[in-house]
């Protein structure tokens, strides 16, 4: 956990007071909607189909139990008793009233939660690996750097009016759980030959209307130089980024149009002018941030406790353990992923009661800490292996011991047309129907790792481009249709999926997914060959034939 200092607390409280005044002026008519819109967006307040939507940042996906309880309180008191975890380590409330927003914001500020820059053309929540600090083999905890960048970019005047929104993600593991290659800037933490910390810097990734995989702009930037290098990138983007056309305003378009070499040369020239200035990080600053992260006092525990050995006799427990429990860097401990993908329910939603119960479970079994991943699941990062049977029972009691992590029913989906004012088609009912088709755990296990991502419009909040199976909702003559892509992935081998053919109507989407999965089961070289590897080996054609032969 990171502990905010007095400066952070003052900043957040002042922001709440400022927004309270802005809301008051809006409701009295002193501010018009045109004047108010940018102010509310900079505080994460959107207007959706039915109501305002409030987006709250969970920096680098780390939550304390008291913070999760406070989110539950906001869900219960100001919303409709639930929240929606997003693909960028945020939580959204869908029914909040503008008149009550300042109170909700103040309640959250008391526990160090805020929503600054969760919308608008500025630097968004800096995201990271949800297993940061506990993943085996991690080079070092990337959240220290994420926090540095968060502080650097929060309310930075030069980055408050960028051509378009800007997103940074950081990973420090070989396996990229933070999807850095689909971010405006992706940072992969490395050590150089001298053992010094630095970053491979990638730039120009993003999804939406024009998807791109980020390219490496510099193979190693020393940690002391990371702020100045990020500033140099942002300055080049701020100078040349298109402000005349919203569809061409993201940095990915600039990088694509200039070419990575030209863009890199521009950044290098800018960087050389500022790299040895005030942004050069003193080791003391880095250590100060590091010292504000608190780590549990791990005990020396056996790798295989008796409690776990005994519980293995229960096949239901064992199915959950094999699916949802992952290796921890410390012997005797485990990471527990809590799937928020119950069969037939909206992906990523948690009720206030579930949030409260999870906070209690975290207090009892995970040193009071919860993590939020971009796959819209949660994690308990520090569970003693001997406590796993008890954690499983506690999760089962709240309907969240769902052994489908990374399986076909672990679907990423945006809110879609059921909530979103930008959407062309619904996402959630499509996800619900697919999970029902694959509700059988044995079948899902037989299929193996398969990520389905669903977006209700081309803005791609559901990351459909990088789903092993991607589903994009479009509207044709007032009807919902869906384009299907296969072969995408968001990890270290990130790729964009390929379209398999013409869009299909709403009622046929789950059938098409079943056809694709059946084709995969028939085509895979061996049971261990993942869906995405079969697509890479064989291409789209055999899947296209299977899906469209009878359509």
Q: Which one of 92-100, 172-180, 403-411, 459-467 is the stretch in contact with other proteins (CB under 8 A)?
A: 92-100
Kindly indicate which of the ranges 21-29, 152-160, 277-285, 372-380 contains the residues binding other proteins, using the contact rule CB under 8 A. 21-29
Which CB atom, from 68 or from 466, has the smaller least distance to other proteins? 68
81 or 493, CB closer to other proteins?
81
Burial class (CB in 10 A: 0-12, 13-18, 19+), 261: exposed
How far lies 242's CA from each of 162, 236, 238, 356, in Å?
10, 11, 9, 45
Rule CB under 8 A: say whether 75 interacts with other proteins: yes
474 binds other proteins (CB under 8 A): no
Give whichever of 38 and 525 is closer to other proteins, judged by the CB atom: 38
Structure tokens at 294: 């608190």
Out of 181, 235, 426, 451, point to the residue binding other proteins (CB under 8 A).
Answer: 426
**Does 49 contact other proteins by CB under 8 A?**
yes
Q: Is 76 in the site for other proteins (CB under 8 A)?
A: yes
Q: Could you give the 3-state DSSP secondary structure of residue 491?
A: coil
350 belongs to the binding site for other proteins (CB under 8 A): yes
Q: Does 52 bind other proteins (CB under 8 A)?
A: yes
Rounded least distance, CB 536 to other proteins, Å? 34
Select from 8, 200, 353, 396 the one that contacts other proteins (CB under 8 A). 353
- Residue closer to other proteins by CB (options 166, 481) is 481
> Is residue 242 part of the contact set for other proteins (CB under 8 A)?
no
- CA dist 343 and 190 (Å) reads 39
33 vs 528, beta carbon nearer other proteins: 33
Per DSSP (E only), the strands in 333-437 are 333-338, 349-351, 369-372, 378-384, 412-413
Q: Is 27 in the site for other proteins (CB under 8 A)?
A: yes
Q: Residue 133 region, left (φ>0) first, then alpha (ψ -120 to 50), else beta?
A: left
From residue 98, how far is each of 18, 79, 240 by CA, in Å? 14, 11, 36
Q: Is 346 in the site for other proteins (CB under 8 A)?
A: yes
| 28 three-class SS | helix
CA distances from residue 69 to 243, 360, 364, 390 in whole angstroms, order as listed:
41, 9, 14, 21
Q: Which 99-128 residues touch other proteins, going by CB under 8 A?
A: 99
d(CA 372, CA 148): 19
Q: Where does this chain bind other proteins (CB under 8 A)? A: 26-27, 29, 32-34, 47-52, 75-77, 79-82, 96-99, 345-346, 349-353, 417-419, 426, 428-429, 432, 475, 478, 480
């Amino acid at each position: 956990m990171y502990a905010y200092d007095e400066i952070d607390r003052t900043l957040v409280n002042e922001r709440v007071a400022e927004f309270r005044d802005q809301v008051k002026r809006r409701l009295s008519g002193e501010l018009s909607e045109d004047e108010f819109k940018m102010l509310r967006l900079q505080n994460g307040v959107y207007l959706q189909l039915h109501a305002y939507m409030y987006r709250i940042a969970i920096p680098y996906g780390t939550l304390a139990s008291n913070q999760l309880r406070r989110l539950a309180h906001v869900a219960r008191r100001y919303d409709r008793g639930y929240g929606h975890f997003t693909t960028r380590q945020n939580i959204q409330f869908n029914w909040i009233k503008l008149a009550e927003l300042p109170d909700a914001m103040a309640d959250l500020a008391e526990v160090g939660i805020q929503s600054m820059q969760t919308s608008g053309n500025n630097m968004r929540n800096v995201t990271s690996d949800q297993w940061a600090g506990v993943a085996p083999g991690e080079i070092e905890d990337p959240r220290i750097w994420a926090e540095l960048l968060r502080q650097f970019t929060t309310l930075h005047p030069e980055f408050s009016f960028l051509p378009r929104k800007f997103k940074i993600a950081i990973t420090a593991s070989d396996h990229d759980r933070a999807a850095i290659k689909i971010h405006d800037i992706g940072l992969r933490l490395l050590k150089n030959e001298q053992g010094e910390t630095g970053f491979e810097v990638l730039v120009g990734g993003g999804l939406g209307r024009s998807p791109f995989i980020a390219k490496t702009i510099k193979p190693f930037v020393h940690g002391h130089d990371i702020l100045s290098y990020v500033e140099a990138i942002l300055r080049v983007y701020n100078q040349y980024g298109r402000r005349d056309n919203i569809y061409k305003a993201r940095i990915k378009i600039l990088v694509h149009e200039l070419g990575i070499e030209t863009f890199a040369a521009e950044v290098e020239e800018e960087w050389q002018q500022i790299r040895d200035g005030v942004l050069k990080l003193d080791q003391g600053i880095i250590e100060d941030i590091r010292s504000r992260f608190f780590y549990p006092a791990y005990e020396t525990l056996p790798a295989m406790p008796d409690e776990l050995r005994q519980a293995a006799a229960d096949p239901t427990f064992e199915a959950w353990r094999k699916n949802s429990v992952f290796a921890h860097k410390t012997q005797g401990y485990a990471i527990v992923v809590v799937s928020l993908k119950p069969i037939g329910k909206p992906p990523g939603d948690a009720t206030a009661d579930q949030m409260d119960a999870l906070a209690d479970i975290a207090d009892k079994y995970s040193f009071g800490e919860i993590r939020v991943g971009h796959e819209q699941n949660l994690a308990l990062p520090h569970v003693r292996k001997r406590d796993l049977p008890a954690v499983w029972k506690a999760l089962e009691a709240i309907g969240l011991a769902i052994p489908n992590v990374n399986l076909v029913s672990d679907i990423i989906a945006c809110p879609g047309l059921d909530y979103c004012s930008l959407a062309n088609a619904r996402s959630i009912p499509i996800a619900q129907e697919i999970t029902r088709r694959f509700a059988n755990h044995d079948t899902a296990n037989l299929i193996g790792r398969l990520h389905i991502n669903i977006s209700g419009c081309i803005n791609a909040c559901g990351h459909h481009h990088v789903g092993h199976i991607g589903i994009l909702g479009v509207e044709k003559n007032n009807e919902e249709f869906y384009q299907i892509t296969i072969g995408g992935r968001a990890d270290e081998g990130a790729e964009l999926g390929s379209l398999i053919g013409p869009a299909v109507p709403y009622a046929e989407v789950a059938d098409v997914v079943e056809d694709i999965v059946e084709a995969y089961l028939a085509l895979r070289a061996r049971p261990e060959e993942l869906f995405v590897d079969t697509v890479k080996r064989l291409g789209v054609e055999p899947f296209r034939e299977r899906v469209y032969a009878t359509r």
